[in-house]
Structure 1
Amino acid sequence: MSATPRKNRAGRRILAVGAGLATVGALVAALPAGAAQDQSQGRGHGWGRTVDVQLLSFNDLHGNLEPPAGSSGQVSHTHEDGTVEKIDAGGVEYLATHLRQARQGNRYSVTAAAGDMIGGSPLLSGLFHDEPTIDALNKLKLDVSSVGNHEFDEGAKELARMQNGGCHPTAGCSVEGKTFEGAAFPYLAANVTDEKTGRPLLDPYFVWEKDGVKIGFIGVTLEGTPNIVTAEGVKGLKFGDEVETINKYTKILERKGVKSIVALVHEGGAPASSSYNYDCDSPGPGDGISGPITEIAKNVSPQVDALVTGHTHQAYVCTVPDPAGKPRLVTSAASFGKLYTDTTLTYDRRTKDIVRASVDSANRVVTRDVPKAQDMTDLIRDWNALAAPIANRPQGFISADINGRGSTAYEKPLGDLIADAQLEGLAPADKGGAQLALMNPGGIRSDLVWAESAAKEGNGVVTYGEAFTVQPFTNMMHVVDLSGENLLAALKQQVSGSNAASVKILQVSKGLTYTLDMTKTGADRVVDGTVKLNGEPIDPAKTYRVAMNEFLAGGGDGFPALAKGTNKLVGASDLDLFNAYLGAHSSAAAPLAPPAADRITVVR
């Protein structure tokens, strides 16, 4: 099932062009036997003035090679009568089949991604430092990708290894006797530079070319990457303004004779509907989408023909007016390989530009009713065999689904469970003496799904692999002294400052309660006087021992107040504490039930 294709209402076309240092040939499917070649127009075949170039794109795969579980593996489709259907989607075996079928009959086809291909990955990929995902992307014939913030989870040197290959410096070769070959596609990082030299960390752009048809790709990640990645991951790097960077390299490409340009931007927006087939151009271009990408799109040079975006894990195919007032295509294909975007760009050989008025684009569902790609099945089988001794170890039992990533509530049942695990593990005096724990919602990468557990092990068993999928970063836990004043400031920073537009509600351990009034604005949404610990109001002058992961302790996710903690004690990893809690509080006879999620009272 797929959305109805939409035609962009104005503008030039976008083509994927060659790389900063090298030109890579497009993956092209053979023409069907007997296909006609229109010598006057050449649309789709490339012999006339204009040719159709197929741009297939996706984003935020996060190493999800196997079909994502529970609600994380579903997309919503709104029917004409207003009913909403949930469709199971995703899995690289199915993504490969869909992309290969889509390419058939398209002489000019290029595949691009908008970052976060790796990082925050399930155990199958994460256990091997995401080498399995890079291998899968190579088999998918990905032509180019921008970096995302999660490409920096293990730092610049590890990102360079993902690009260039080689065995891990400490873990060694994942497969005995075999050296990791690296990405066969270029990773682009135009706005990421070395602080000392000022040079781009990776190639800033790539030019795709076939039969004289050229499309330039410029890749950027969000300028705020340092705020959402551990400090060690971005050490020595500078992240520049997205618009300024794209405009700079647009001029460079134009001087090289490349007039058709696509920006791969790891920053996104929020459509008014979560359905992948929502028309975000109703009533007018871009009216149904908001968020950072709208301001970027409104200011990027009109010479850029389209923006392929990501980061927010949303699905949209919109047109947003460029600085000249002409609507321009902006797309995103949700996350985890559940969708891909199929765009047709009409390239004019005379002007070397895209005819924007002829652009068609739609998000397509990666359904699971197609044959699995055998090469991907083989890849998953081989890596699973290596992971099995660790992945299949039971950690605990659950009585029902405990939703985290799939929950739309501010307070997530799985968030409460994780925070409780952190508090319990770090409350003993010799472990840090924590009185409360805080967990960032973005660090919860999946749900705990009873049905999946039951299908694999029976009776709702939670395996190490499933726990790892929920908490894949293996962040070390910190316990710090934090004043009541700073604790209250941090809670207000959930809904103000850099989080004012897109709130980030911290998950809290048992005993911490407060009221969140969403009818108010900014910091006032956290109602004064309601923040209590074990029934006692938080005293601004008092000191509290607070447990949190190293990312939050460094002020990540827009919480500078949390970085003011002192008297730090470094404890076990978040994953170790989570698994220990599951083991201590559940058994086959007494599985763990979902928490009530009643610590934050929300007023709407």
Structure 2
Amino acid sequence: MTLFSRPLCAALAAAFLSAGCATRPTAPIEINLVALNDFHGHLDATKFQYNSIHASGQQTAQAGGIDTIAAAVQAWRREDKELLFVGAGDLIGASPAMSSMWADEPALEALSMAGMRISSVGNHEFDNGRAELLRQQRGGCESVRPEKACQFSKDFRGAGFTYLAANVIDDATGKPFLPAYRIEDVKGVKVGLIGAVLRNTASVVLASGIVGLTFEDEASAINRVIPAMRAEGAQVFVVLIHEGGHTPEPFDKPDCSALKGPVVDIVKKLDPAIRVIVSGHSHTGFQCKVDGRVVTQGEMGGHVLSRIKMMVDPASGAVGDIAVRNVIMKPGEYPPDARVSAFLKQAKERSEAALARPVARVAVRSIHRKESPGGETVLGGLIADAVLAATRSQGVQIGFMNMGGMRQDLDVEASLTATYGDVQIVLPFGNTIVAMDMSGAQIRALLEQQWARPGASSVSVLQVSDGFSYRWNKDAPRGQRVMRDSVTLNGKALDDAAIYRVAGNNFLAEGGDSFPAFAAAANKRDTQIRDIDAVVQFLVQRDKAGKPAGSDTPPGRIGTVQ
């Protein structure tokens, strides 16, 4: 026996509907995103040093690895099968050898296997030029790196996810070089994701590789596509941007509030409909609020994934509560993704023989990038010396190295024997060395640009080779910081009118890292000597001479005065 008869039930239902039941509010639905930034092809776990709200003092752990990332995403996808795995650029480039020796194809394949759906481009996606980026997106073997492309997999099919770039414009068409946005249907809600990269990308990549591309203001380009996205039904808007900032707060502090840097100004100019911004580039972990919007970043190298949960009204698309949690990717914490784990094992086995090849003995276990008060580093001096040694027979007198070109310290095992893989992880770009002529006056101007680089937001001290030295005054005005009488080459004062033969990597030679003085140099000749080969040869020469390279302290070529 039922409480109500069928006719009565029907009558009550009809009355309820006529009273407005059909338009009653619907409970908010949960939309989940997992974000990764600045992966840089780190297929294997690496050391992660961090501060956490859950512990006192700096902590150190092994973290990351594509197997761990895939396992975590797989576990979280069991909680929500419509979870979106997204990226904020620099997924490839400046990568360890296991990925870079194969043109980063293993990283792209592994991220695709792990379920990556969409990512903004980063500046490192342009490291080998626009044509190579398109190949990495679409697949194929026609590459500027034929010795690497399609060597891991003979039928490379490209990334299984979509790169976005709203503010990278193809000058020939006036339209975005890559799609500006993508709209995903998640639980009946249309989620629009917009990609952008730092507008100063041209200052940090090879100029020859981006001819015909213009990098526009990030916020303007993002805002410009919102109307078109609304016309296609987008209700929720998320920005994936390869630009960032820094905060002294722990990577896992909820609603951090001390964020500073370029991304803050960008966020403040965005359309009010945008509530979530996933950032990158600055290799910092944070989960902050800026003008009431959520801005996240997950450090680098796959050490941290950002979990983002949005509560959305399915009818209006209005976003309510947003929760963010940065999670360390600790190996073994999630059931493995068998397919990705097997892929990583294969990549290790394929790469191991080449990477394990011994090169030479060095003097210390870590040839590091820690800067002296003058901005000099042990590793930078070593590489500059290697550049000079490789080109001295061609008349070169001074070797230069940029800080940004050294991706990690040169760390070796207790045997003090450096392997090819140890060196490759320091210099993953495959740059070649260019010899060029500069006057003494141009070299002085170059040194002054260290504190006033057009388009750059920070100081970057060039590393210099043996025999070249100078001092600078931090309290002097910009443009006058290098002490004139202190600049010497082999003990002799630099002559403004004289012509000197100098060398640096091809990135610097084109004015990269915002050093236009290099771009103005004359009589350039690309030696076709790769920087990694120059360093390997230098280490071998020093070892054979009984004076292994390396030290705990910089050589003292660059000094400061008070």
SS of residue in 2 equivalent to 1:218: strand
Alignment partner, residue 9 of structure 2: none
Alignment partner, residue 396 of structure 1: 360
How has the CA–CA distance of structure 1 residues 537 and 298 changed in structure 2, closer, same or farther, with 3 Å as cutoff? farther
Alignment partner, residue 276 of structure 1: 251
Task: From 440, 446, 449, give the equivalent of 2:402.
Answer: 440
**Structure 1, residues 251-308: CA drift from partner, whole Å, max 9, x if none?**
22122221311111111112235x4235773xxx4xx222211111111111211111
Alignment of 1:178-327 (within 5 A): 178-272=154-248, 275-277=250-252, 281=256, 285=257, 288-321=258-291, 327=292
Which range moves more in the overlay, 335-344 or 155-164? 155-164
Higher relative contact order (CA 8 A, sep 6+): 1
**Contact kept? 2:408, 2:425, Cα under 8 Å:** yes
Alignment partner, residue 370 of structure 1: 333
SS of residue in 2 equivalent to 1:96: helix
SS of residue in 1 equivalent to 2:458: coil
Deviation at 1:219, TM superposition (A): 0.5
How has the CA–CA distance of structure 1 residues 266 and 569 changed in structure 2, closer, same or farther, with 3 Å as cutoff? same
1:343 aligns with 2:308: yes
1:62 aligns with 2:24: no
**Structure 1, residues 473-525: CA drift from partner, whole Å, max 9, x if none?**
11111111111211111111111143663112211112222334445564444
**Structure 1, residues 398-457: CA drift from partner, whole Å, max 9, x if none?**
2433344677983222111111111111112xx2x1111111111111222123xx4xxx
Quick one: distance in 2 between partners of 1:354 and 1:403? 49
Which range moves more in the overlay, 594-603 or 403-412? 403-412
Quick one: distance in 2 between partners of 1:50 and 1:408? 55
How has the CA–CA distance of structure 1 residues 75 and 96 changed in structure 2, closer, same or farther, with 3 Å as cutoff? farther
**Structure 1, residues 360-405: CA drift from partner, whole Å, max 9, x if none?**
1122111235365443332122223333443232211224333446
Quick one: distance in 2 between partners of 1:550 and 1:581? 19
**Contact kept? 1:75, 1:276, Cα under 8 Å:** no
Alignment partner, residue 125 of structure 2: 151
1:413 aligns with 2:387: no
Bigger CA radius of gyration: 2
Quick one: distance in 2 between partners of 1:78 and 1:403? 28
Amino acid of the structure 2 residue aligned with 1:362: R
Deviation at 1:202, TM superposition (A): 1.6
Amino acid of the structure 2 residue aligned with 1:126: S
**Contact kept? 1:79, 1:85, Cα under 8 Å:** no
**Contact kept? 1:493, 1:499, Cα under 8 Å:** no
Quick one: distance in 2 between partners of 1:419 and 1:364? 39
Alignment of 1:556-575 (within 5 A): 556-571=512-527, 572-575=529-532
SS of residue in 1 equivalent to 2:536: helix
Alignment partner, residue 480 of structure 1: 436
Quick one: distance in 1 between partners of 2:302 and 2:198? 21
Quick one: distance in 2 between partners of 1:526 and 1:165? 49
Alignment partner, residue 27 of structure 2: 49
RMSD: 2.5
**Structure 1, residues 563-601: CA drift from partner, whole Å, max 9, x if none?**
111122322111110110011112698643326213222
Deviation at 1:100, TM superposition (A): 2.6
Deviation at 1:229, TM superposition (A): 0.8
**Contact kept? 2:370, 2:378, Cα under 8 Å:** no
SS of residue in 1 equivalent to 2:116: coil
Count the aligned residue pairs.
531
**Contact kept? 2:195, 2:239, Cα under 8 Å:** yes
Amino acid of the structure 1 residue aligned with 2:117: D
Quick one: distance in 2 between partners of 1:495 and 1:530? 18
Which range moves more in the overlay, 546-555 or 103-112? 103-112
Amino acid of the structure 2 residue aligned with 1:573: R
Which range moves more in the overlay, 156-165 or 99-108? 99-108
Alignment partner, residue 39 of structure 1: none
SS of residue in 2 equivalent to 1:98: helix
Q: TM-score, normalised by structure 1?
A: 0.82
How has the CA–CA distance of structure 1 residues 360 and 515 changed in structure 2, closer, same or farther, with 3 Å as cutoff? farther
Alignment partner, residue 503 of structure 1: 459
**Contact kept? 1:518, 1:603, Cα under 8 Å:** yes
Task: From 94, 108, 114, give the equivalent of 1:120.
Answer: 94
SS of residue in 2 equivalent to 1:305: strand
SS of residue in 2 equivalent to 1:420: helix
Alignment partner, residue 492 of structure 1: 448
Alignment partner, residue 5 of structure 1: none
1:109 aligns with 2:83: yes
**Structure 1, residues 34-66: CA drift from partner, whole Å, max 9, x if none?**
xxxxxxxxxxxxx94311211110111111112
Quick one: distance in 2 between partners of 1:478 and 1:157? 23
Alignment partner, residue 411 of structure 2: 449
**Structure 1, residues 162-202: CA drift from partner, whole Å, max 9, x if none?**
121222443463256x4112112111122222211122222
Amino acid of the structure 2 residue aligned with 1:546: V
Amino acid of the structure 1 residue aligned with 2:49: V
Quick one: distance in 2 between partners of 1:249 and 1:596? 51
Amino acid of the structure 2 residue aligned with 1:54: N
**Contact kept? 2:85, 2:116, Cα under 8 Å:** yes
1:531 aligns with 2:487: yes
Quick one: distance in 2 between partners of 1:271 and 1:516? 29
Amino acid of the structure 2 residue aligned with 1:385: E
Quick one: distance in 2 between partners of 1:113 and 1:582? 38
Quick one: distance in 2 between partners of 1:108 and 1:51? 12
How has the CA–CA distance of structure 1 residues 348 and 384 changed in structure 2, closer, same or farther, with 3 Å as cutoff? same
Amino acid of the structure 2 residue aligned with 1:109: L
How has the CA–CA distance of structure 1 residues 140 and 107 changed in structure 2, closer, same or farther, with 3 Å as cutoff? closer
**Contact kept? 2:102, 2:152, Cα under 8 Å:** no
**Contact kept? 1:404, 1:445, Cα under 8 Å:** no
**Structure 1, residues 528-556: CA drift from partner, whole Å, max 9, x if none?**
44333334333322222111111111111
1:601 aligns with 2:546: no
How has the CA–CA distance of structure 1 residues 97 and 508 changed in structure 2, closer, same or farther, with 3 Å as cutoff? same
Task: From 101, 107, 114, give the equivalent of 1:133.
Answer: 107
Quick one: distance in 2 between partners of 1:525 and 1:94? 48
Q: Give the unaligned 5+ runs of structure 1.
A: 1-46, 322-326
Quick one: distance in 1 between partners of 2:369 and 2:234? 41
**Contact kept? 1:75, 1:338, Cα under 8 Å:** no
1:424 aligns with 2:389: yes
Alignment partner, residue 360 of structure 1: 323
Quick one: distance in 1 between partners of 2:477 and 2:233? 49
**Contact kept? 1:402, 1:414, Cα under 8 Å:** no
Q: Percent identity?
A: 34
Quick one: distance in 2 between partners of 1:133 and 1:588? 39
Quick one: distance in 2 between partners of 1:517 and 1:478? 30
**Contact kept? 2:106, 2:152, Cα under 8 Å:** no
**Contact kept? 1:416, 1:595, Cα under 8 Å:** no
